[in-house]
Amino acid sequence: MPEAASSNGRTHVGILGGGITGLAAAFYLLRAGVQVTVVEARPQLGGLATYFDFGPFHWDKYYHCVLTSDRPLQTLIEDLGLSEELRWRETKVGFYAKSGLYSVSSSLEFLRFPLLSLWEKFRFGLGIIYASRIPDGRDLEKVSVTEWLTRIFGKGCYQKMWAPLLKCKLGSCREEASAAFIWATIARLYSTRDRDAGQKERLGYVRGGYRAVFTRLIEEIERMGGKLVTGVPVERIESRPDGGIDFVTANGPMSFDRAVVTSPSHVASALVPELSREYVNKLNAVKYLGIVCTVLVLKRSLTPFYVTNLTTDDVPFTGVIEMTNLISLEETGGRHLIYLPKYIAPGDPLFQASDEEVWSLFQKHLSKMFPDLQESDIERKFIFREKLVQPLPVMHYSDIVPPMETGVPNLLLANTTQIINSTLNNNEMVKIARQAVDRILKNAAQGAAIGARS
């Protein structure tokens, strides 16, 4: 039987996607008295921020941290009654160079960092301060990342630090990126530095990880009468003559008054035949980077750092994230949790490689970096893959961003491509989810259709 729109007279909103965006939107819509159904293709909710059973413990499938500056995310945590579970820790940052592993976690350590000359360090410090004071990065979309970094930080710094970092982070796509990408990364990381404590970094996490956040979100959504449908991919989205929206699924149609799509743009463009050519072109213009991520559960620690950046460009992963240098070992039953991400284009042959092939490539370089790491230190290993993760911040990115209004009445898009002036993160997605909620509530109050552009 089709799901009914507006049963009991309340506006019924369908949300495609049960990641943080879809669930945060559902939570705030329900709090405002709107009826909500979330439809998620995968059996487990959480999307890219979901959790995983690593054996002795559960933790985030991919690494996540909370920044002190993440206001909308912290408000959500507070609204879920989880503020008491938020833990803050001083974390260390490492740099791996051919000559070894260095801590660059305070101003003093930066001064001792051997990779750059004193003059290069001075320019680097000035460059970071300058970048962190730019309030809006949109003008930087007109400049290529290479040109801007060389101009602001100097050739030496660019060649020794930024070029290998960019290669690690963006691979072959780095030539296409604009300066806004690196500006946003600097601004976000700088915002979490404690100026009163020698520029030390302070990061946070919720006890129990995103599993605790999603568990509470699910409880709250269900308590307020929201419906969560998992393991059901939406195959098509159609508008009805009465202005409502239908999700077509293998289980039959689901009818709503309004709907929000939170999937990646490339998925959205194939789902809605009524979208205008202009809108579809915008959806398809965004290029995504995917990720192949090896996760290791170790009996010992690898480094003292949360993130180790790589300044050699021959390593097949983007960095080393030692989660247990942020979270307490109580979370992992005393095990050490390491993520080795590799950001690549969705068409990269690494996506076709077997787990064994990926591991053998990563292991070769990991053993070079950490010669004392023994096979017996590795308790478990996992390889995860996602093709549509990070929208590539190309030149003039704002011009290709699809607006929330899709042009189809009562159908909104709220996804990661709409992050402008920041990096991919949950804080931005909660902000975008709340913008979609505000639009629905405002239009519902005025009795107007949403989604149609004039």
Ligand X SMILES: Cc1cc2nc3c(=O)[nH]c(=O)nc-3n(C[C@H](O)[C@H](O)[C@H](O)COP(=O)(O)OP(=O)(O)OC[C@H]3O[C@@H](n4cnc5c(N)ncnc54)[C@H](O)[C@@H]3O)c2cc1C
Contact footprint for ligand X (CB under 6 A): 16-22, 39-42, 47-49, 62-65, 233-234, 262-263, 267, 291, 293, 341, 389, 415-416, 424-427, 429
Q: Quick one: 58 exposed, middle or buried, by C-beta within 10 A (0-12, 13-18, 19+)?
A: middle
Query: How far is the C-alpha of 110 from the C-alpha of 114, rounded, in Å?
Result: 9
Query: What are the φ/ψ torsions at residue 129 (nearest 5 degrees)?
Result: -65, -45
CB of 229 to ligand X, least distance (A): 9
CB of 447 to ligand X, least distance (A): 29
Nearer to ligand X, 152 or 213 (CB): 213
Nearer to ligand X, 56 or 231 (CB): 231
CB of 10 to ligand X, least distance (A): 23
Other C-beta atoms closer than 10 Å to the C-beta of 215 total 16
DSSP state of 313: T
CB of 292 to ligand X, least distance (A): 10
DSSP state of 154: -
CB of 21 to ligand X, least distance (A): 4
Q: Measured at the alpha carbon of residue 351, what is the angle toward residues 262 and 280, in degrees to the nearest 5?
A: 35
CB of 126 to ligand X, least distance (A): 27
Nearer to ligand X, 262 or 410 (CB): 262
CB of 48 to ligand X, least distance (A): 3
Instruction: Identify the sign of the CA torsion 176, 182, 184, 185.
Output: positive
Nearer to ligand X, 127 or 192 (CB): 192
Judge whether 79 and 437 are in contact, CB under 8 Å.
no
DSSP 360-388: HHHHHHHHHH-TT--GGGEEEEEEEEEEE
Nearer to ligand X, 59 or 62 (CB): 62
Strand runs labelled E in 92-149: 93-97, 100-103
Judge whether 67 and 78 are in contact, CB under 8 Å.
no
Nearer to ligand X, 123 or 324 (CB): 324
Nearer to ligand X, 389 or 394 (CB): 389
Query: How far is the C-alpha of 346 from the C-alpha of 358, rounded, in Å?
Result: 16
Query: What are the φ/ψ torsions at residue 246 (nearest 5 degrees)?
Result: -110, 135
